[in-house]
Structure 1
C-alpha cells in the first residue's frame, strides 16, 4: 500500500513539473494547447486531480470544467473498479481495485486494494448502488434513529461529499435511490417516504432532487401504482433508467413482484408485472449482464445462509415487449465448503461468465468468491489492504468508475 501511494505521488509531481516546465521553456513558451494538457492530466488518478486543482487558478478552472469532467469519466469508464466501502470509527471508508486485476489473472489467490478516501460520519449507514462514480446514503432515518440524519452524496475517488436538504415529509421512514441521465448529464436522487407507525413499506410520497442546481430542493412527483420497494441489492441504473425491485401493496407473502422503471430525464414511472417474476423477492439482485438488465434469484429460501443449491438468472432481452431469457444455475459441491457458513450477497457479473459474491461484514482475512458459469467452478480471492476492523457491514460494488466531479 505504501509503495502504491509513493508511486502515485511521484507520478503526480513529475506530471505537474513537466507540464509547468513546458509552459516556461522551448520555442513556444506560451500556453500549452488545451487538448495536450488534458491528455497529460488524464493520466492521473482522480484523487490527484483534486489536489492539482489548487496548483493555480488556471488549473483549477480547467480541472473543474464540465468538459474535463466528462472526458475523465469517459476514460475511466474503460477501466472500471471493484469498490468496497464500510463505516467504522466515525469514518466512511472507500477502497478499490481495478476489475481487470481480478479478471485477467483468474489463478490469483489475492488482490490488493487501494485506499481512496475517508468521509466523516458518526451514525450507521446503508448505501445506494453507485452511479457514474457517485454514491448516496440510503435510509439513515431507520438505521440511525436520529431525527437530524441527512442524506449524503459522496464521491469516493476524491472524498468530496455534500449533505442534502431534509426531505419534506412528516413521515420518518425515507428510502433513496441515485440515478444519472447520460444525455443531459444530470444526477438525480429519488426518495420515497412511508409510515413508521404503524409499520408500512409502501412508498406513499415520491420526491426528486436534482444535483448541481445551486440551491437544491425536493420536488413532489406522481406515482400511479402503489408498491413496496425491496430494501437491499434491488436497484441499478442503466442508460438513464433506474430499475428497482418491488412488490404490490398488500400482503408481502401473496403480493406479485414487479420491476419498477424510473426514467431519470422525464421523471416518469413504468412498471413490469409478469407472472414469470411472481416469486422474485429478497434477496434477489438486479445486475448489469453484458449491457442488459439481469436478475439473480436464489432457487430456494435461505440461499445466503447456505440452504439453497443454486439460483436463476433472468436476462431481459426486450423490456417493452416482455421478452425474458431464463437460465438455471446449480452451484458445484465445493461451494459450501469454501464459503464455510459465511453470510454473503450477490455483487454482479465480471466479464462474460463470472458471478461475484461478497461477505456482508468485514473480516480478516476477507475473501470474495467468483463462480464461473462456463466452467462450473468456484474460486476464492483474498482482498488485502483494509484497515484492521472486524464485524462492520461492508458494501461491495462492481463497475465503479472514477469521477472528478465536484459535488455542488
Structure 2
C-alpha cells in the first residue's frame, strides 16, 4: 500500500494581498517579517493607498485629544468603542516640543499623517501615529532679507501633491522691522516658504499675495490638495478665503459665506467636509453658542444650523454620523448630536491652564515619512492620567 502524500494548500498571492489590505496597521507591522515580498508590498504606493481607502470606507477612525499644559505637550489616545470606561487609552508625550515657545498646533490629518508645528519658533515635525514613525523637519533654508526686528510664524497648511506623490507644508513668515529711534509704525513683510517631504527641504514661494491669513485651529484646512485660510486682503475691506494649491503651487481667492451681522462678532473655522471645503461659524463671545455649518459646492450652502447650546466654548470637529465634538466651558470634551440635541460627556478634560487643545480624528495609514521610530525620538506612551 502506497504511502499517502500530504498536500499543501497555498493561498494565491493576489488573494493574500486582498486579505492583508483589510487588516489594521498593528497586524501588518507583525507580518513584516513573514517574507521579503510582503515587506516590500507594504511599502508600495499601490498598497498604502488602497489600504488607507479601505480603512476610510470602513470608517475605522482613531481619536487623539491634544491637551497641552504649561509644561508638557502631549496627546491622549481615546478609544472609539461604546464602552465609556475604556474611552481613555493612554497618553503620548512628545519631548521634541517641550522646550518650544508655544504648544504645537496640529495640521491634518492628511492620508493618516499629522503635521505638528510650533508657531513660536517654527519647529515642525511629521508624525504617523499608526506606524509610530516620527520625523523632525529641518529649519527653513530659504533666504530671508536682513530685517531688524523679529520674525513671526503665523499660518501653516499641510497637504498632499497627488501628481508627484509628495507631502508639502506651507508656512507664512512675517518679518517685522521696528525703528526704535523714531515713532513710525512697524513695517511688515511677508514671505511664504514651502517644504517638500521628497526633497526634505524648504524653498521660497515667489508669488506672494497681499494678504494676512488667520490661523485655523481646527487644523484640517486642506481639501484635495488645496489649503485654505480666512484672510484679510490688502486693498479689500472684506475678508476673503485665501487658498494654495499644492500641485500648481499657486494662490487663489474666493468669498466667505454671507453671514448675518458683522464678521467681527463671529469666529470662522475652515475644515474638510465630505470631500469639500466647509466652514463652521459660531459667536466669538459668550458660553451659550450656536453653530452654523457651511459647505462649498460651486457656492456656499448652509448644511446645518444648531441653536443655543449652553456651557459651550468652541467646536472641536465632527464624528462618524454627523455628531459634533465640542469643548465645554469647564474644559470637558463633549459629543453633541445635532438632531436630538443630546450632549454626552466623554469623561476627559483639558487642563484649566491648557495652552491649546484640539481633537484629531484620523484613519490608520501605512504612508512612510522617512523618519525614525517613536522610541528613537524618545516619544513616550504611558497609561493616561485620567485612568
- Aligned residue in 2 for 1:354: 323
In structure 2, relative to structure 1, the CA distance for the partners of 1:403 and 1:222 (3 Å cut) is same
Q: Find 2:307's aligned residue among 331, 351, 364.
A: 331
Q: Find 2:156's aligned residue among 171, 176, 201.
A: 176
Gaps of 5+ in 1: 1-24
Which protein has greater RCO, CA pairs closer than 8 Å, 6+ apart? 2
1:260 aligns with 2:226: no
CA-CA distance at 1:66 after TM superposition: 2.1
CA-CA distance at 1:113 after TM superposition: 4.5
Contact 1:192 1:204 in 2 (8 A): yes
**Which has more helix, going by share of residues?**
1
Mapping 1:98-177, distance limit 5 Å:
98=80, 112-115=87-90, 119-121=94-96, 122-123=98-99, 124-138=103-117, 140-142=118-120, 150-167=123-140, 168-170=142-144, 172-174=151-153, 175-177=155-157
Q: Report the Cα distance in structure 2 between the residues aligned to 1:75 and 1:125, rounded to whole angstroms.
A: 30
Contact 2:64 2:75 in 1 (8 A): no
- Aligned residue in 1 for 2:29: 50
TM-score when normalising by structure 2: 0.73
Q: Report the Cα distance in structure 2 between the residues aligned to 1:202 and 1:296, rounded to whole angstroms.
A: 30
- Aligned residue in 2 for 1:81: 62
CA-CA distance at 1:205 after TM superposition: 1.2
- Aligned residue in 1 for 2:285: 302
- Aligned residue in 1 for 2:296: 316
Contact 1:228 1:247 in 2 (8 A): yes
Contact 2:193 2:204 in 1 (8 A): yes
Q: Find 1:219's aligned residue among 203, 219, 223.
A: 203
Q: Report the Cα distance in structure 2 between the residues aligned to 1:192 and 1:200, rounded to whole angstroms.
A: 18
- Aligned residue in 1 for 2:380: none
TM-score when normalising by structure 1: 0.70
**Aligned length in residues:** 341
SS of 2:207's partner is coil
Q: Report the Cα distance in structure 1 between the residues aligned to 2:304 and 2:8, rounded to whole angstroms.
A: 67
- Aligned residue in 1 for 2:196: 210
Q: Report the Cα distance in structure 1 between the residues aligned to 2:329 and 2:134, rounded to whole angstroms.
A: 24
Q: Find 2:314's aligned residue among 329, 345, 348.
A: 345
Deviation string 1:107-154 (CA, Å, 9 cap, x unpaired) is: x8777254496544223322213211111123x251xx5xxx631111
Q: Report the Cα distance in structure 1 between the residues aligned to 2:169 and 2:213, rounded to whole angstroms.
A: 15
**Which has more strand, going by share of residues?**
2
Q: Report the Cα distance in structure 1 between the residues aligned to 2:93 and 2:13, rounded to whole angstroms.
A: 32
Contact 1:190 1:206 in 2 (8 A): yes
1:405 aligns with 2:385: no
- Aligned residue in 2 for 1:11: none
In structure 2, relative to structure 1, the CA distance for the partners of 1:82 and 1:349 (3 Å cut) is same
CA-CA distance at 1:311 after TM superposition: 3.4
Q: Report the Cα distance in structure 2 between the residues aligned to 1:151 and 1:40, rounded to whole angstroms.
A: 36
Q: Report the Cα distance in structure 2 between the residues aligned to 1:135 and 1:242, rounded to whole angstroms.
A: 14
Deviation string 1:252-305 (CA, Å, 9 cap, x unpaired) is: xx952111121121111110135836727873112334443221212x4314xx
Gaps of 5+ in 2: 1-5, 145-149, 179-184, 371-387
